[in-house]
């Protein structure tokens, strides 16, 4: 496989001040909404923000460390509520969040396909995002995504540039994958 799309996706921080075409945005959201979910319950709700006043209120809800995201022309709040979960009784798995993760990865990969970059963030004030976008109390803001065209790294301030210059890494393969039984140390060998 040559340079598959999931290796081209990355979370960098420099965005161009260039609008995202409506048709590209719609294709990206279509990809997100066709993600699988338990019982096909589709618990995700995407609030796609472009309108200047609303966008500014949303930006102000981001943490200081995510100030780079102010340049992104689109911010998306991914929301869900526990009530929409598929609940299993033998393990405390929260499938509504799992489904949001699947939908968000679809969204991020579709953005790459469109020549865009999506950067997920947990660094925001949830109450402020809820207030800015009128999100009901029962819903959580699962993640926020900055979306736009990637810009050159030299548009970033020094501190943010240093973050983007750090090499992207992953834990060693064997730390997160085992064959045939649990082999990660704790409880290894199916004890």
Looking at the Cβ atoms of 158 and 186, the one nearer to ligand FMN is: 158
Which position's Cβ is nearest ligand FMN? Answer: 123
H helices, E strands: number in the chain: 7, 4
Question: Could you tell me the two tokens for 32?
Answer: 């997100």
Q: How far is the CB of 53 from ligand FMN (least distance, A)?
A: 23
Binding site for ligand FMN (CB under 6 A): 10-11, 66, 120-123, 143, 168
Looking at the Cβ atoms of 70 and 120, the one nearer to ligand FMN is: 120
What's the DSSP call for residue 87? B
Q: How far is the CB of 81 from ligand FMN (least distance, A)?
A: 18
Q: How far is the CB of 173 from ligand FMN (least distance, A)?
A: 16
Looking at the Cβ atoms of 152 and 190, the one nearer to ligand FMN is: 152
Question: 130 Cβ partners below 8 Å, 6+ apart?
Answer: 137, 139, 141
Q: How far is the CB of 88 from ligand FMN (least distance, A)?
A: 23
Gap between the Cα atoms of 174 and 184, Å rounded: 8
Question: Could you tell me the two tokens for 152?
Answer: 């050159």
Looking at the Cβ atoms of 38 and 121, the one nearer to ligand FMN is: 121
Question: 3-class secondary structure for 158-182?
Answer: HHHHHHHHCCCCCCCHHHHCCCCCC
């Amino acid at each position: 496989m040559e340079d598959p799309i999931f290796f081209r996706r990355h979370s960098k921080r420099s965005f161009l001040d260039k609008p995202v075409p409506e048709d590209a945005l719609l294709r990206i959201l279509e990809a997100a909404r066709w993600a699988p979910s338990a019982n096909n319950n589709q618990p995700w709700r995407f609030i796609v923000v472009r309108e200047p006043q609303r966008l500014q209120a949303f930006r102000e809800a981001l943490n200081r460390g995510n100030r780079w995201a102010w340049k992104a022309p689109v911010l998306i709040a991914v929301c869900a509520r526990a009530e929409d979960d598929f609940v299993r009784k033998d393990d405390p798995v929260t499938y509504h969040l799992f489904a949001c993760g699947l939908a968000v990865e679809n969204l991020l990969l579709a953005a790459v396909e469109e020549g865009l970059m999506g950067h997920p963030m947990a660094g925001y004030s949830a109450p402020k995002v809820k207030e800015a976008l009128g999100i009901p109390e029962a819903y959580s803001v699962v993640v926020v995504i900055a979306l736009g065209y990637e810009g050159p790294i030299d548009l970033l301030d020094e501190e943010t540039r240093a973050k983007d210059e750090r090499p992207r890494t992953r834990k060693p393969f064997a730390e997160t994958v085992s064959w045939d039984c649990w082999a990660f140390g704790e409880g290894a060998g199916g004890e």
